């Protein structure tokens, strides 16, 4: 009988209550299963022996057989160090100890073969190894250390309490002894044979105590595949259940509103990508399952018009629609953009934000409930309990990563049936991340820019070039263009010597004096009304320069603005830089983005700036960003739990992730309930995961 992996860790021989308490607090290990899933984060290869003449100057960890031929003590500033001359048949090197010298002298014998292991240094024309692990050849052969040694994740507290790597390794060994190394298989025979995967028991043995690099690689592959397979299985299952159980409103016809707009008022020819995405949305809305779609498109790719035409489908079928945006500025802009089109079509549209007056709110609430109000645009204000729709058929959420799941679900409860949901984002999400985080949504991508858009020229300039940059701004203003200048901070922080907004504003006022030049200023600490007043001045062309913090990052649309200057650009993340760049290039003129930095740049900053200068492709930018920051940072805390992976890495293991998704789809499309005999293992594993959430906490 195999050991129960849900047994609390306290019961494992060699652990006991004190160690168990530390393991729980420091490494989140509560059960045998958790310990089994504590995978080593690197390994020391003790299978290979080096000769002294093969050593490279790269401070690698190596293992050598040789003899000590003599000792000497060398005086240094504080005390003495002990040096042993060590040689094999190809050369000699030194072993060095800075403490414990008396014990070393008594224990080690001259001219006796020893196995030494440690990091090598090159010093004074010779290799040396400080504080080597040292054992006789017999001791070496007897120990488990021959082979590849695991190094486990640890913390300072564990080390201080004596739970070092050797102790952790011993505890894991004990678990293998108690279970006789037999563990329940978690993948189906079909998958194991098709992919030639090693068994679960062999994979676990070889991840903890690999006998060779080849067996270790096989174990890693198998466990990464399994982890990603079950994440994909859950996401795809969620999508299938959603489609079969959650009925949505079926939009049977494309009628008067849609056709009138398409034939008479469409401001430009739709791109191939926009047409493709509209077809996908139309197919979704025509089925009786609730639509749950993510619409991705780079800045300026024309998501808004696709969203509006989707709303027209709702109106044609007698339903209401709403559009929710994360900020007041963005919702006002969406409203103004849609208002003109709605006026042509005689559609009743209103705006609801935190600043909407009470009297206006009452009118909106009443018109929503009796169905007179067809489209409502707004911020979080749409989620208030007082806001009730007569029949909400389509809810569109812009920049949805800024809204929590709870907030989104509030929209569902506004109706008897949940509305069709479309979430839009201008933050390109790398495919691997989209598959993992939004794997339960259907994804549409607008990957073409409208014709006639010139690509934005991006350059990197140092602060020392500022005069040339100012000269360039004057030339652009003389041509009738407008300029954004964005800063990372509002007030000077002692720790950061970056140009802050107020300082910058003062120096720009000096270089661009009134009345010849007019300047707007916008930042997060201003009252909404003041912010809006300054924004409007810039939009109307009354001011030529807008000095701002990142409040203008999303959605501000001024076609006449052709230059974006980002101060202290090294302070911004890649996706933020890309979003800011997208504020220009909205008209027919050539636009520019100038990244200003000091000369002191980290390697990551250099990579970010080089990427921005090299490409305008948001998906390429997002891929570099994912490599630099890792998935947790990109998704933010709301979503990071999704990718709390134990062994896989969605950046490095992209190919395994795609394979895992392919097999998860294959299994579920053939057998949605996992009821077939060949999928029994998968069903049992999936049920166990749902039951013991704490073990599989990498599944959101």
Distances (CA, A) of 4 to 9, 12, 320, 490, 692: 11, 11, 55, 57, 13
Asked if residues 117 and 46 have their Cβ atoms less than 8 Å apart, the reply is yes
Per 3-state DSSP, what percentage of the chain is helix, strand, and coil (rounded to 5)? 45, 20, 35
Q: Is the peptide bond before 678 cis (omega within 30 degrees of 0)?
A: no
* Dihedral angle over CA of 128, 133, 135, 140, nearest 10: -120
Residue 611 φ/ψ region, left for φ over 0, alpha for ψ in the -120 to 50 degree band, beta for the rest:
alpha
- Class of the 457-615 domain? alpha beta
- 75: tokens are 């005086």
Contacts of residue 687, defined as CB under 8 A and 6 or more positions apart, other chains included, come to none
Asked if residues 83 and 95 have their Cβ atoms less than 8 Å apart, the reply is yes
Give residue 700's pLDDT. Answer: 28
CA angle 558, 564, 568 (to 5 degrees): 140
In tens, the pLDDT along 412-446 reads 677 667 889 898 987 777 777 777 767 777 888 88
Asked if residues 365 and 350 have their Cβ atoms less than 8 Å apart, the reply is no
Asked if residues 432 and 657 have their Cβ atoms less than 8 Å apart, the reply is yes
Same-fold call for 48-145 versus 457-615: no
Q: How many CB atoms lie within 10 A of CB 79?
A: 10
Is beta strand 292-297 parallel, antiparallel or unpaired with respect to 442-446?
Answer: parallel
Reduced 3-state DSSP string for 329-363:
HHHHHHHHHHHHHHHHHCCCEEEECCCCCHHHHHH
Burial class for 431, CB neighbours closer than 10 Å (0-12, 13-18, 19+):
middle
Q: Which residues of the chain have pLDDT under 50?
A: 1, 494-498, 634-642, 694-700
Question: Which CATH number fits the domain 268-286+302-425, given the four candidates 3.40.50.720, 3.30.70.100, 3.10.180.10, 3.40.50.300?
Answer: 3.40.50.300
Asked if residues 485 and 508 have their Cβ atoms less than 8 Å apart, the reply is yes
How far is the first Cα of the chain from the last one, in angstroms, to the nearest whole number? 32
Q: What is the C-alpha to C-alpha distance for residues 243 and 368, in angstroms, rounded to an integer?
A: 28
- 176: tokens are 């293998």
- pTM, 2 dp: 0.66
In tens, the pLDDT along 127-149 reads 999 999 898 888 877 765 557 88
- Class of the 48-145 domain? mainly beta
Domain positions in the chain = 48-145, 268-286+302-425, 457-615
Q: What is the C-alpha to C-alpha distance for residues 132 and 115, in angstroms, rounded to an integer?
A: 10
Give residue 146's pLDDT. Answer: 54
Phi, psi at 369, each rounded to 5°? -70, -30
Helix (H) or strand (E) holding 122, with range, is: strand 121-123
Tokens 């707009």 appear where?
261
């Amino acid at each position: 009988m195999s050991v129960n992996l849900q047994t609390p860790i306290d019961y494992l021989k060699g652990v006991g209550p004190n160690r168990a308490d530390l393991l729980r607090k420091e490494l989140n290990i509560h059960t045998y299963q958790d310990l089994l899933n504590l995978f080593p984060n690197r390994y020391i290869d003790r299978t290979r022996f080096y000769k002294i003449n093969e050593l490279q100057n790269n401070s690698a960890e190596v293992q050598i057989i040789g003899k000590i031929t003599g000792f000497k003590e060398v005086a240094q500033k504080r005390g003495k160090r002990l040096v042993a001359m060590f040689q094999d048949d190809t050369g000699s090197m030194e072993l060095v100890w800075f403490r414990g010298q008396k014990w070393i002298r008594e224990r080690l014998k001259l001219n006796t073969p020893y196995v030494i292991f440690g990091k090598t240094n090159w010093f004074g024309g010779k290799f040396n190894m400080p504080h080597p692990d040292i054992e006789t050849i017999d001791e070496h052969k007897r120990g488990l250390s021959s082979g590849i040694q695991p190094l486990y994740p640890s913390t300072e507290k564990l080390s201080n309490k004596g739970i070092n790597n050797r102790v952790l390794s011993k505890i894991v060994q004990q678990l293998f002894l108690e279970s006789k190394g037999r563990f329940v298989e978690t993948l189906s025979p079909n998958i194991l044979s098709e992919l030639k995967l090693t068994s679960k028991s062999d994979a676990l043995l070889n991840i903890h105590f690999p006998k060779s690099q080849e067996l270790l690689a096989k174990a890693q592959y198998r466990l990464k595949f399994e982890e990603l397979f079950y994440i994909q299985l859950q996401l795809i299952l969620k999508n299938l259940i959603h489609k079969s159980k959650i009925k949505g409103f079926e939009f049977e016809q494309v009628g008067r509103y849609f056709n009138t707009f398409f034939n008479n008022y469409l401001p430009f020819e739709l791109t191939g990508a926009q047409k493709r995405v509209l077809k996908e949305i139309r197919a979704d809305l025509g089925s009786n399952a609730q639509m749950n779609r993510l619409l991705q498109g780079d800045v300026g790719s024309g998501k808004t018009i696709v969203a509006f035409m989707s709303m027209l489908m709702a109106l044609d079928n007698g339903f209401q629609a709403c559009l929710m945006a994360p900020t007041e500025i963005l919702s006002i802009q969406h409203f103004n953009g849609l208002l003109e089109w709605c006026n042509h079509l005689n559609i009743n549209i209103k705006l609801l934000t935190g600043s909407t007056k009470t009297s206006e709110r009452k009118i909106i609430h009443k018109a929503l409930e009796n169905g007179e109000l067809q489209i409502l645009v707004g911020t979080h204000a749409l989620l208030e309990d007082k806001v009730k729709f007569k029949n909400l058929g389509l809810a569109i959420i812009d920049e949805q990563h800024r809204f929590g799941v709870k907030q989104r679900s509030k929209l569902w409860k506004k109706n008897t049936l949940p509305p069709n949901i479309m979430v839009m984002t201008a933050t390109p999400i790398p495919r691997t991340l989209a598959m993992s985080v939004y794997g339960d949504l259907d994804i549409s991508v607008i990957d073409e820019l409208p014709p006639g858009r010139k690509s934005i020229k991006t350059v990197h300039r140092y602060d020392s070039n500022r005069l040339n940059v100012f000269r360039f701004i004057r030339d652009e203003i003389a041509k009738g263009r407008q300029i954004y200048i964005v800063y990372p901070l509002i007030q000077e922080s002692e720790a950061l010597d970056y140009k802050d907004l107020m300082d910058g504003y003062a120096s720009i006022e000096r270089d661009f004096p009134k009345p010849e030049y007019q300047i707007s200023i916008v930042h997060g600490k201003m009252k909404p009304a003041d912010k809006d007043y300054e924004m409007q001045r810039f939009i109307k062309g009354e001011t030529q320069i807008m000095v701002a913090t990142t409040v203008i990052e999303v959605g501000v649309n001024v076609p006449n603005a052709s230059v974006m200057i980002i101060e202290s650009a090294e302070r911004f993340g890649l996706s933020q830089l890309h979003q800011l760049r997208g504020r220009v290039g909205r008209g027919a003129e050539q636009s520019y983005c100038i990244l200003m930095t000091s000369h002191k740049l980290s390697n990551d900053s250099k990579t970010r700036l080089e990427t921005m200068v090299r490409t305008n492709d948001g998906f390429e930018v997002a891929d570099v960003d994912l490599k630099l920051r890792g998935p947790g940072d990109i998704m933010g805390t709301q979503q990071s739990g999704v990718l709390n992976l134990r062994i896989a890495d969605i950046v490095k293991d992209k190919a395994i992730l795609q394979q895992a998704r392919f097999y998860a789809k294959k299994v579920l499309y053939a057998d949605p309930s996992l009821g077939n005999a060949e999928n029994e293992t998968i069903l049992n594993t999936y049920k166990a995961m749902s039951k013991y959430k704490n073990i599989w906490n990498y599944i959101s």
